[in-house]
Amino acid sequence: KIPNALWANLIQERLSNVDCIKQGWILEGFPENQEQAWMLQSSGIFPRHVVLIHVFPVEVFHTTFNWPSDPVVQERLVKPEDLSEQEVSKKLLEYHRKFPEIFHIYQKVLKSINADQPSVDV
């Protein structure tokens, strides 16, 4: 894990480059918690927009209980090597615990998008 202060310094340094100043920037997956969000703000980093994309899987497959019958789909499936079911559950629990705090910080610039609809509407 990288300490929050180091993250904030690295991001502040990168966002001060000319290309970010002229063209803008996107942070994906950061901040992960309230402390990181406050550190960004204390570093003078204020996003104009924060986008939350709600994604609900249409089909979920399981190697034992729900394997797809279509061979093309079977070929595309990849089992994550680094995440067990317990680790995924833990990450999901952390998300639901930490993100409301972050949303509160960015509530004035937060845009919430439901991706569970036709792509034209998204």
Domain map (residue ranges) of the chain: 4-114
Q: Whole-model pTM?
A: 0.68
Question: What is the CATH code of the structural domain delimited by 4-114?
Answer: 3.40.50.300
Alpha-carbon distance values, 112 to 2, 49, 50 (Å): 28, 10, 8
Q: Which of 51, 55, 46 is nearest to 103 (CA)?
A: 51
pLDDT band at 13 (very low <50, low <70, confident <90, very high): very high
Residue 17 corresponds to which tokens in the numbers above?
């480059």
Nearest-angstrom CA–CA distance, 41 and 36: 9
DSSP secondary structure letters along 60-107: --BTTTB--S-HHHHHH----SS--HHHHHHHHHHHHHHHHHHHHHTT
pLDDT tens, position by position, 39-81 = 999 988 999 999 988 877 656 677 777 888 899 988 888 776 7
